[in-house]
Amino acid sequence: MKFESLTFDNGFARLPEAYYSRVCPTPVPDPYLVCYSPEALALLDLDEREITRPEVIETLAGNRLLPGMDAIAALYAGHQFGHYVPQLGDGRAILLGEVKNAAGAGWEMQLKGAGRTPYSRGGDGRAVLRSSIREFLCSEAMHALGVPTTRALAIIGSDHPVYREDEETAALVTRLAPSFVRFGSFEVFYYRNQVESIRHLADYVIARYYPELKGLADPYPEFLRQVALRTADLMAQWQAVGFSHGVMNTDNMSILGLTLDYGPFGFLDAFDPDYICNHSDTGGRYAFGQQPDVGAWNLTKLAQALVPLMSVETASSAIAEYPQAFGRAYLERMAAKFGLATGSDAPPLIMDALQLLAQNRVDYTIFMRRLCDFDSSAGAGNAPLRDLFLDRAAFDAWAARYAAALRQQGPGAAERGAAMRRVNPKYILRNHLAEIAIRRAADERDYSEIKRLHALLARPFDEQPECDSYAAEPPEWARKIEVSCSS
């Protein structure tokens, strides 16, 4: 299908103007295509060749709108690092419209980095190439890992200068999601005392994204409960895959339980609950191991914003299931990764393994992948795994318990290994891999490494032996990579 034939629906833009401002993207000079996701193009039924057409590149650069697009920037607020900020909003993202695909699914299309909006505060409304590459690669990699996320269709670059610590160049990411509504989209109206705006937004989100609740006499408590359950599941997935978001402010929390707003994120290399991916997060508020608790805290802020629609007691009981839901989802995922049944043996084996990994600073992804080949027969040394540990005796003691548990589960080592390889990725977007792709793009205008990484990470569970080096531990220089919010 051609880009010009996309059908637009624009449900969000039909809401009253309390929720957004009509805006126009600010054009950039001489835009060019940096990369695109064939999988994301397919979501819109677009022919792959479309993306290289100059008219399409101009549109994704924000230089021209198509008939049917209704460009807006959404209003929201949020708790940033624990403090309420009453006015945020899409400061550099512009929603072009909502595409309805042939299967009837709606995909909102947003340009991140399309210029200033009424919510830009002091910012320039732009995104740089470096952070755009990270967001593009990570959204698509997360999707391939099975983690709910916003998607990325393409990156458009321009030589337009953008000033951060140094001069860089501008880029725009075309993001796709069923909806970009955040916890903070509700908070803004709660703190302004605008109850009808809270209700109307809740009705909109329920009607479109939680349609199974529409028939309930009082759908709001169940809506809040569903958001809590989706958030619990998302946190379980982040912890299981070793993903650290970096800026879990309530304005970055999706009402659909999607991973949203990729900034200073990072995947674990060595397993470390205290891992802080965001260089600016000096207190470690959003450290890897804190994420499940932060999810709970953020839900209390959403619950508070919905209190005008229900009693305080109802709101707190709607999110009360979160800890159990998280625990259940996390255990299920981790047990599958360890090839264990979710019986009483599993939790101590898993927790003790994680503790050993942390003490020995063992690479999380490499350990889990090698575990798929674990030999549970008596006397097996499991050298490839054992070699990852400094404290070999501690590993041996754990491995003996693990082997006994596997033997008790019965035979089927081959099937177990195969099942484990489907949940333990070989390839993740390590910071140094993104960094290599970024340097080549920024210094040499060579985008082939982005393409190669995208294709590799689209199949993270497949062996792809020709790419073994991409599964290795980070090189020494990677320690110096610093990522922060200034993107």
Which parts of this chain interact with ligand AMP (CB under 6 A)?
A: 88-92, 119-120, 123-126, 247, 252, 261, 263, 485
Q: What angle do CA 10, 16, 22 make, to 5 degrees?
A: 65
User: Of 175, 212, 208, 297, which is closest to residue 248 (Cα–Cα)?
Assistant: 297
* Residue 75 C-beta: closest distance to ligand AMP, Å: 10
Rank residues 305 and 310 by Cβ distance to Mg ion and give the closer one: 305
Q: What are phi and psi of 157, to 5 degrees?
A: -110, 165
What is the Cα–Cα distance from 63 to 463, expressed in whole angstroms?
42
DSSP 482: -
* Residue 290 C-beta: closest distance to ligand AMP, Å: 17
Instruction: Enumerate the active-site residues.
Output: 251
125 binds, among ligand AMP, Mg ion, none (CB under 5 to 8 A by kind): ligand AMP
* Residue 119 C-beta: closest distance to ligand AMP, Å: 6
91 binds, among ligand AMP, Mg ion, none (CB under 5 to 8 A by kind): ligand AMP
> Measured in Å, how far apart are the chain's first and last C-alpha atoms?
34
Rank residues 125 and 425 by Cβ distance to ligand AMP and give the closer one: 125
Tokens read off for 250? 């309530």
Name the closest residue to Mg ion (Cβ): 261
Chain CA centroid to CA 252, Å: 10
Rank residues 68 and 91 by Cβ distance to ligand AMP and give the closer one: 91
417 binds, among ligand AMP, Mg ion, none (CB under 5 to 8 A by kind): none
* Residue 406 C-beta: closest distance to ligand AMP, Å: 43
Rank residues 60 and 260 by Cβ distance to Mg ion and give the closer one: 260
User: Of 345, 367, 343, which is closest to residue 354 (Cα–Cα)?
Assistant: 367
* Residue 260 C-beta: closest distance to Mg ion, Å: 7
What is the Cα–Cα distance from 57 to 48, expressed in whole angstroms?
13
Binding region for Mg ion (CB under 5 A): 252, 261
Q: How far lies 379's CA from each of 375, 400, 415, 485, in Å? A: 9, 9, 21, 50
92 binds, among ligand AMP, Mg ion, none (CB under 5 to 8 A by kind): ligand AMP
Burial class (CB in 10 A: 0-12, 13-18, 19+), 307: middle
Q: Phi-psi region for residue 159, left (φ > 0), alpha (ψ -120 to 50) or beta?
A: alpha
123 binds, among ligand AMP, Mg ion, none (CB under 5 to 8 A by kind): ligand AMP
User: Of 149, 147, 180, 160, which is closest to residue 40 (Cα–Cα)?
Assistant: 149
Rank residues 261 and 449 by Cβ distance to Mg ion and give the closer one: 261
124 binds, among ligand AMP, Mg ion, none (CB under 5 to 8 A by kind): ligand AMP
Rank residues 62 and 89 by Cβ distance to ligand AMP and give the closer one: 89
* Residue 264 C-beta: closest distance to Mg ion, Å: 12
Crossing angle of helices 413-421 and 392-409, in 10° steps, is 110
Burial class (CB in 10 A: 0-12, 13-18, 19+), 82: exposed
Rank residues 261 and 363 by Cβ distance to Mg ion and give the closer one: 261
Tokens read off for 464? 């792809």
* Residue 312 C-beta: closest distance to ligand AMP, Å: 29
Q: Which DSSP string do the residues of 67-123 spell out, in sequence order?
A: TT---EEE---EEETTEEES----SSEEEEEEEE-TTS-EEEEEEET----TT-TTS
292 binds, among Mg ion, ligand AMP, none (CB under 5 to 8 A by kind): none
Q: What are phi and psi of 424, to 5 degrees?
A: -115, 100
